[in-house]
């Protein structure tokens, strides 16, 4: 299989779906000649033209409104929002309209749209550009929220998202666009709502998604040298949430550590921990542990910025504690 970056995987998924379905079109700020803020759409305007690759004004509410209306008429828009922080400007259109229209119209109108946007902290982008807000949208019935951790999953999940008839928030990560990995050739699709076991183990389950999958795998390597076998469960979707796969893992290992980049209280980890409590309580040999970002606006100082984010060392330390090794 070819080894490509996350950026290239996303680009290829968009291109292949635009070739496959003439109803697929792209819209967003600077996605045309400039190729998008992260160069995911680079070159697509030359192949498909400005009618299918629309560079919009800086108006997220307008982008979401246009995408919702286009989806209702039978098109399949893929909107790019520069960061998840900016989507708040268009949240009413996405949450109150796109997510609810199929229900309010009794299924006679659908909103098959995808919103691509990066989440999480990057490098000194500070408090208004470093948030993990995907849990806000995962809270909403009618919305899907997808968050891949590898180029293969990014391509396969984006293709599945574009073909889906529901509004989908497709969450990328600000620091993962150059992440490389093997990607199957051909029409590679990954089912939405199905978690993936990125590493099998028997002593402890780490349940996570997006960039934190790589931190979990790194911690698992460290712990393996100490004889601790860690299973890493990549959720891949926050809604729908694959409860079955993560509960099966916890029943096997009897310990669960939930890792996510967002804030601790009311975060994605809280929902995962609640599901484990409800479905696997009798199998637990230790209370569920959550590791998250600190509950502060992201600082500008590089030292404080690192301190505000989850650290691999914290994962290793808590895992040892859960197993009575420290």
Please tell me which residue in 8, 17, 60, 261 is annotated as part of the active site. Answer: 60
Contact 234, 196 (CB under 8 A): yes
Q: Is 108 a catalytic residue?
A: no
Calpha distance 292→264 (Å, rounded): 5
Rounded Cα gap, residues 44 and 53, in angstroms: 7
- Asked if 222 and 318 count as a contact pair (C-beta separation under 8 A), the reply is no
Please confirm whether the linkage preceding 240 is cis (ω < 30° from 0). yes
Question: Which uninterrupted H or E stretch holds 239?
Answer: strand 237-239
The CA distances from residue 247 to 74, 123, 163, 193, 320, in Å, are: 38, 35, 29, 14, 21
Q: Helical H runs in the chain?
A: 6-20, 44-48, 60-72, 91, 101-104, 134-138, 151-163, 212-224, 243-253, 268-280, 302-308, 312-322
Give the integer Cα–Cα distance in Å for 101 and 308: 38
DSSP labels for 55-97?
Answer: EPPS-HHHHHHHHHHHHHTT-EEEEE-S-GGGGGGGHIIIIII
Residues 280 and 276: their CA atoms lie apart, in Å, by 5
Catalytic residue among 129, 279, 286, 317: 129
Active site residue 129: yes
Q: Which residues are catalytic?
A: 60, 129
């Amino acid at each position: 299989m070819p080894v490509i970056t996350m950026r290239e995987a996303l680009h290829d998924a968009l291109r292949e779906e635009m070739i496959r379905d003439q109803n697929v079109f792209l819209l967003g700020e600077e996605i045309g000649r400039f190729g998008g803020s992260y160069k995911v759409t680079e070159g697509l305007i030359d192949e498909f033209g400005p009618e299918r690759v629309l560079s919009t004004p800086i108006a997220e509410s307008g982008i979401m409104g246009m995408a919702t209306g286009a989806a209702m008429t039978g098109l399949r828009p893929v909107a790019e929002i520069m960061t998840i922080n900016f989507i708040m400007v268009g949240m009413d259109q996405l949450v109150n309209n796109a997510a609810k229209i199929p229900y309010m119209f009794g299924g006679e109108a659908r909103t098959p749209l995808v919103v691509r946007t990066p989440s999480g902290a990057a490098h000194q982008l500070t408090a208004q550009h470093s948030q993990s807000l995907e849990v806000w949208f995962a809270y909403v019935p009618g919305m899907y929220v997808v968050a891949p951790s590898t180029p293969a999953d990014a391509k396969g999940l984006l293709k599945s998202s574009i073909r889906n008839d529901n509004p989908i928030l497709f969450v990328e990560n600000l620091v993962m666009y150059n992440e490389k990995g093997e990607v199957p050739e051909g029409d590679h699709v990954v089912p939405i709502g199905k978690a993936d076991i990125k590493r099998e183990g028997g002593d402890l389950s780490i349940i996570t998604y997006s960039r934190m999958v790589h931190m979990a795998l790194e911690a698992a390597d460290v712990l393996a040298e100490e004889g601790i076998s860690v299973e890493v469960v990549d959720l891949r979707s926050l809604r729908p949430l694959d409860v079955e796969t993560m509960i099966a893992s916890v029943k096997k290992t009897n310990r669960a550590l939930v890792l996510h980049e967002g804030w601790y209280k009311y975060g994605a980890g809280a929902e995962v921990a609640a599901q484990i409590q409800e479905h696997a309580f009798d199998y637990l040999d230790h209370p569920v542990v959550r590791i998250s970002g600190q509950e502060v606006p992201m600082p500008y100082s590089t030292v404080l910025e690192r301190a505000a984010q989850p650290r691999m060392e914290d994962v290793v330390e808590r895992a040892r504690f859960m197993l009575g090794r420290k």
